[in-house]
Amino acid sequence: MAVIDQLPGLEVAVCVDQQPLHEYADDEFHASAQLNMVSTYVEAETMKEFSVKLVVKEPYTLDCPTLGFQIFVDGVKVREPVLMQTTFESCGRNWETFWDGVKYPTEGQNCILRPFRFSKIDTLLATDDEQLDTLRSDTMVVGYVGEIIVKVSRRTEVKVVGLKIVQENLLEHRPSNVHEKALKGQAKSHSISLGDGRPSAFSRKVETDFVDGEDNPIATFRFKYRSKEALEALLIIRKSPESEPEPEQAKLSRTATPEPVNIDVASLTPDARHQLEEFYQQLQSGTAIPRPEIKQEAKTPVKREREGDEADEAEETIRCRKKGKNLTARALVDLTLN
């Protein structure tokens, strides 16, 4: 969850299925410029519904009658919940709530909630005059797209004035297709739309004033939502490595290098030692010659007969090889001649 060091206990998160999305640091944002603001990236999946989670808990000190939250998506204020000090105390100084959509009235005293969801932005490469005329408006709309912002402000005592009924069709007139040039230079992949409505209950409509002024929130949380591909293009997350086939040259270089040969000097005949001396002298002079094949005296194999199945024979063979390796003395050839 996004937190501000100066305000411990005050937290905000963007959640899918009530689980906070993983947050990535926004390296372009410098916290020193605005100490009361935090900015992060989150991954957006097409058609996934999401909610905004608000948390106020100890050690945060509520030093005003009411704490107000303004939730903006794509530049539009969609919800404005409040936390009264009396409510904060009654819940044991641990307040947590989810805001997952916009409420609209239906017939009678009923209402529906239309959930927030991520929608993919489709681009058009238009050439006719009518579609080119929309480029300016598309550019203005895209300028606000891609961000979820929560502003927290100190408020005065609240006054309940009735049921809150949203009349505006928020986010309804956002174009699903925008001109390709409207996104030029911007790694934006999604916008926010509203899903199908489901039955809900009306919220209370309250009135309250800003203690420090509306333009002076005590905290601002910004979430830049992008697709996984866009986050990779921005180098926010590491691209999954793809396994590449091994170059043929690397394979050849391994097979072309012969393994060093260990020769038991004590077992060489006088003629073989003489050949070895000549071979060393030719190496020193730089003459290209093939490596001599030095024959060692053949050892008489010892035949071992044993009753039993093939598995036992294999086991005995391995055991004998290990013993033979320990008993056989080998020495590397010393090519330094006196």
pLDDT band at 304 (very low <50, low <70, confident <90, very high): very low
pLDDT at 272: 77
Give the separation between CA 41 and CA 91, rounded to whole angstroms.
Answer: 31
Contact 177, 124 (CB under 8 A): yes
pLDDT at 318: 38
Give the separation between CA 280 and CA 256, rounded to whole angstroms.
Answer: 22
Residue-wise burial string across 252-270, b where 16 or more C-beta atoms lie within 10 A, e elsewhere? eeeeeeeeeeeeeeeebee
**Tokens at 20, concatenated:** 């906070």
Closest CA to 209 of 27, 68, 13, 338: 68
pLDDT at 195: 92
Q: How confident is the model over 72-95, as a mean pLDDT?
A: 94
pLDDT tens across 23-64, in order?
A: 999 988 875 556 789 999 999 999 999 999 999 999 999 999
Rounded to the nearest angstrom, the gap between the alpha carbon of residue 167 and the centroid of all alpha carbons in its chain is: 39
Q: Which amino acid type is present at position 24? A: Y
For residue 194, pLDDT over 60 is answered with: yes
Strand segments, DSSP code E, in 121-246 are 122-124, 147-155, 159-164, 177-179, 190-194, 198-200, 203-207, 219-226
Distance between start and end Cα atoms, the chain? 76
For residue 95, pLDDT over 70 is answered with: yes
Give the separation between CA 12 and CA 29, rounded to whole angstroms.
Answer: 18
**Tokens at 213, concatenated:** 């002024």
Q: How confident is the model over 81-109, as a mean pLDDT?
A: 91
pLDDT band at 287 (very low <50, low <70, confident <90, very high): low
pLDDT tens across 238-273, in order?
A: 877 664 555 555 554 555 455 555 666 567 777 777
Write down the mean pLDDT value for the chain: 76
Q: Which of 188-192, 216-220, 316-320 has the lowest mean pLDDT?
A: 316-320
For residue 310, pLDDT over 70 is answered with: no
